Structure 1
Amino acid sequence: MEPFVRNNQSYLAIESWKDQFPGLVAGITTKSGGVSKGNFETLNLGFHVGDEVNDVCVNRKEVARQLDFSLNHWVGAEQIHDIVLKKVGQEDRGKGSDSYDQSFKGTDGFYTNEDGVLLTLCYADCVPLFFIAPKSRMIGTAHAGWKGSVGQIARRMVVSWEDEGIEAKDIHVVIGPSICENCYIVDNRVVKLIENILEDVDRKPYNLVSDGQFSLDLRELNRMLLIAAGVPERQIMVSGFCTSCDRELFFSYRRDQGRTGRMLSFIGWKELSNHS
């Protein structure tokens, strides 16, 4: 079952989580419903891609309004395709929400168990990972391109939560819209790195398509790594949306040859006062 449902033109929500966990906001934006122009048309939410900063801020305010989650409660990151995660809390709210300079440096994932904090990351083909441990109200999100995937950022989140006293068996994960294997070709170097981290698996997440060229299923790779880290297979849901194929819905770095905007993943608990 597809975990993401399009509620309006500007974002897709993880519908089953919304129903299961009252007060949770989780999903990913589309490319539509904003004011950005040219290659960034229209709902670009990335500060770092050369778009007009003011347009990005207008777009972010519009998403904040639609989610009913104040922009000054967001946290954002300067993502570098690494595996550094940050635990954040209410004292961090606003960092990276309306300025790239103020964002968390060298960070590719966030987690928190505090209300009123929206964890946000930017994407244009990489895999968005969404985590929740309902009993402890811990939530998280991570950005996994091929480097982050090979670096096992998914496992890093599980281990970080284990350090917080949360068992892997209590973690649920949604793997979000990203580039599909048909649209994502990598070379021998990447495949060798993947071979090094995948042990005893029957089916590989890649296929040889021509000499030294492989199609890679990044979502399946992350699913396999999460299972290896102890997350129950039945507690992992995977989106079928491809950021490259679904041209009308998403920006795609590969399809648009690098000149494109960014979608925003988001997850947060609304403060109880917001429910009134």
Structure 2
Amino acid sequence: MSERATTVPITSLHDIPVFQFSSLAGHAGLVYAISTRRGGVSPAPWDSLNLSHTRGDDTARVNENHRRLCAALNVPADALTNAYQVHGAQVGLIGPAQRGQRQMDTDALITATPDTPLLLRFADCTPILLYDPVHHALGLAHAGWRGTVAGISTATVRAMQTAFGSRPADLLAGIGPAIGPCCYEVGDEVVEAVQQAFSNPAALLPPGRRTRRHFDLWAANTQQLREAGVRQIESAELCTACHHDWFFSHRAAAGRCGHFGAIAMLAAR
């Protein structure tokens, strides 16, 4: 794996390193961060800020990692609302009744309810954050290759339109750290799925050093967001496999790793 970028732009929040989008700076109504693998209490191979309870780590350690991240962002840990992610395109609408609960078989969460932190987990898949500053609404999505070809980005935009009246042109979108086209070698199943889902698959399936193609998750989700009408998109273009010292990478660790998270909340205003 080749290093795609030499510098990882990291902000420290109360000694917890996180990634944040420059285009979202100054929006006081939005509290969010994408965590790294640093700043927690878990030992290898989950070292150290592992947010997953399903990767073999001790429950008490994972809970402490959640507590530390929530404290760094000053969000209520008992209201943390997450999802059992299944690599699909189901979007969960979160209101007061769903606050603090886990949504089953869901890969995107949307809300217009303040003080309701949303959390999704990643280890190579793509975090996608959508903020509507006009209607003060929020969307968070998890896009692996299956979710991407199923249109999770588009589904999240459409769900925000239906639920909150969001205009796609008003949305601010951030595509977070994920495995890059430099490292994401894929097989025939993925190639065929991308060819069926996209009008320009060749641009999303660059050749690798060997005979197999690679898949550009960043570009694929950017394309879907643009086709849905989103115009303001910032892509981190940080490869988690290249930078597995900063982010958990399922591919780089051969499956022995934890999950980092994308956490976002609307502040009351």
**Hey, what's the Cα distance between the residues in 2 that align with 1:211 and 1:16?**
37
**Is residue 147 of structure 1 aligned with residue 146 of structure 2?**
yes
Q: Is the 8 A contact 1:79 1:105 kept in 2?
A: yes
**Hey, what's the Cα distance between the residues in 2 that align with 1:225 and 1:38?**
36
Give 1:9-24 correspondences, 5 Å limit: 9-19=16-26, 21-24=27-30
Q: From 224, 245, 260, give the equivalent of 1:248.
A: 245
TM-score by length of 1: 0.89
CA displacement at 1:240 relative to structure 2: 2.1
**Hey, what's the Cα distance between the residues in 1 that align with 2:201 and 2:186?**
21
**Is residue 186 of structure 1 aligned with residue 186 of structure 2?**
yes
Q: Is the 8 A contact 1:187 1:212 kept in 2?
A: no
Percent identical among aligned pairs is: 28
**Is residue 231 of structure 1 aligned with residue 230 of structure 2?**
yes
Q: From 80, 83, 87, give the equivalent of 1:81.
A: 87
Alignment deviations for residues 57-101 of structure 1 (CA, whole Å, 9 cap, x no partner): 011111111111010121011111111110102332222xxxxxx
Q: Name 2:4's counterpart in structure 1.
A: none
Change beyond 3 A, Cα 1:202–1:190 = closer
Give 1:212-223 correspondences, 5 Å limit: 213-223=212-222
Q: Secondary structure at the match of 1:132?
A: strand
TM-score by length of 2: 0.91
**Hey, what's the Cα distance between the residues in 2 that align with 1:202 and 1:60?**
38
Q: Is the 8 A contact 1:3 1:16 kept in 2?
A: no
CA displacement at 1:203 relative to structure 2: 6.2
Alignment deviations for residues 218-272 of structure 1 (CA, whole Å, 9 cap, x no partner): 011100111112212xx01100211111132111000000010100101111235
**Hey, what's the Cα distance between the residues in 2 that align with 1:63 and 1:220?**
29
Structure 2 residue ranges without an equivalent (≥5):
1-6
**Hey, what's the Cα distance between the residues in 2 that align with 1:209 and 1:242?**
16
CA displacement at 1:111 relative to structure 2: 0.5
CA displacement at 1:18 relative to structure 2: 3.4
Q: Name 1:104's counterpart in structure 2.
A: 103
**Hey, what's the Cα distance between the residues in 2 that align with 1:202 and 1:146?**
13
**Hey, what's the Cα distance between the residues in 2 that align with 1:75 and 1:13?**
20
Give 1:61-140 correspondences, 5 Å limit: 61-95=67-101, 103-140=102-139
State the number of aligned residues: 260
**Hey, what's the Cα distance between the residues in 1 that align with 2:48 and 2:40?**
5
CA displacement at 1:6 relative to structure 2: 2.1
Alignment deviations for residues 110-150 of structure 1 (CA, whole Å, 9 cap, x no partner): 00011101110000000000001111111110000000000
CA displacement at 1:152 relative to structure 2: 0.5
Change beyond 3 A, Cα 1:248–1:209 = closer
**Hey, what's the Cα distance between the residues in 1 that align with 2:31 and 2:11?**
14
**Hey, what's the Cα distance between the residues in 1 that align with 2:98 and 2:160?**
19
**Hey, what's the Cα distance between the residues in 1 that align with 2:201 and 2:54?**
40
Q: From 2, 5, 12, give the equivalent of 1:7.
A: 12
Structure 1 residue ranges without an equivalent (≥5):
96-102
| Aligned residues: CA RMSD | 1.9
CA displacement at 1:213 relative to structure 2: 1.1
**Hey, what's the Cα distance between the residues in 2 that align with 1:82 and 1:182?**
24
Q: Name 1:45's counterpart in structure 2.
A: 51
Q: Is the 8 A contact 1:46 1:261 kept in 2?
A: yes
